[in-house]
Copies of this chain bind each other. A is one copy, B any other.
């Protein structure tokens, strides 16, 4: 199209939420957002949880801006600025090589972003948010950098965002370079490798905002006497075992490692001065319910994990859907989030199931989200953009 000073360039992308099975907790550099240990996550389906972001720029825009779910957000912070600067530098290099390109790198950016899930639910919205932010600007700038190269940029916005640039099973390798440039995400396996991995998310009712993960993890690094061993010894061994479990689609090992690493992460939180508690009595009730499901099944068919909040994410393989979801549905039957397609799930507990293990869960869950492994960021057709012709935000369709 012909460009004029009022031309608005835009591209729109979505990005997924990821939930780690080997947890990121602790930075070696708060400036570079480099982690004390590698981590590994499952990317969740965007049908259920995703951020959509339109990145737009124009010579007519007066300042950089971000609108999230209709509200303006500050982009003057070091993290957003680092992402802007890195992406503009890549664009600038393209423009220097090809002077026919419009000088988008010199234009102010407007970013309009919407989540299809409540931000307040305490899910990992910042990961999806920064991944969509970076992906959309990269698309706008027509950058050819690989997702791993873009993950280096997204990492500077929000550490775990780097893992949301891929679908499937994704490692964030901590890297060894002082400049952090090898601290990037790589895909261990695409979602098609193990497409039967599902996740039931139990959103805990009383999810009061706890310590932010940014300040919490640095308190752990500074004060926990158990933490150095976790970062330097425990996690590196678990990373290798987890990669193998995923490659071999070995759910039992995947489950054992996932639960152990979640508990290890919350243990070093508790060992922080002052102690950080993210799990509450309802979280522990979810742990006990999963333990009873596994005990009754005679093997690990479900694996809980908890991020920096009380919500439980329970991974399972679709082949065990009935024995995992049956008890969870029984405990949360009147809770929003059970779509019709799960109406066939039988809530009759199997022989020998200790129903008392479910009691504490009932009444403490406000919402259930049933989802599964999914793809990485997706480009969205231009007509779906979240801006109107004048470059102003419009609601997501």
Contacts and interface: CB of A to CB of B under 8 A. Distances in A.
Interface of A: 225-226, 229-230, 233-234, 256, 259-260, 263-264, 266-268, 270-275, 277, 280-281, 284, 287, 291
A287 B281 CA distance: 15
A287 B275 contact: yes
A272 B267 CA distance: 10
Q: What 7 A-B pairs have minimum CB-CB distances, sorted nearest first?
A: A267-B267, A267-B271, A267-B270, A229-B229, A281-B281, A225-B234, A226-B226
Query: Which of A234, A263, A274, A280 counts the most chain B CB atoms within 10 A?
Result: A263
A271 B263 contact: yes
Contacts of A233: 225
A90 to B, nearest CB: 41
A282 to B, nearest CB: 9
B274 A226 contact: no
18 contacts: A225-B230, A225-B233, A225-B260, A225-B264, A226-B229, A226-B234, A226-B268, A229-B229, A259-B273, A263-B270, A263-B275, A266-B270, A267-B270, A267-B271, A270-B270, A274-B291, A277-B287, A280-B284
A291 to B, nearest CB: 6
A257 to B, nearest CB: 11
Contacts of A267: 226, 267-268, 270-271
Contacts of A256: 273
Contact of A271 (B264, B274, B275): B264
A378 B26 CA distance: 51
A232 to B, nearest CB: 11
Chain A binding surface, main DSSP class: helix
Given A259-B274, A260-B271, A277-B284, 5 more contacts: A226-B264, A229-B229, A263-B273, A267-B268, A281-B281
Contacts of A225: 229-230, 233-234, 260, 264
Contacts of A259: 273-275
A267 B268 CA distance: 7
- Counting every copy of the chain, the complex holds 2
Query: Which of A226, A256, A274 counts the most chain B CB atoms within 10 A?
Result: A226
A288 to B, nearest CB: 9
Contacts of A268: 226, 267
Nearest to A263: B275
Nearest to A276: B263
A263 to B, nearest CB: 5
Contacts of A230: 225-226
Contacts of A273: 256, 259-260, 263
A211 B260 CA distance: 18
A240 B287 CA distance: 37
A51 B266 CA distance: 37
A19 B394 CA distance: 62
A60 B264 CA distance: 57
Nearest to A264: B271
A271 B230 CA distance: 11
Nearest to A269: B267
A264 B226 CA distance: 8
A272 B272 CA distance: 18
A172 B225 CA distance: 22
Contacts of A271: 260, 263-264, 267
Nearest to A268: B267
A371 to B, nearest CB: 25
A365 to B, nearest CB: 16
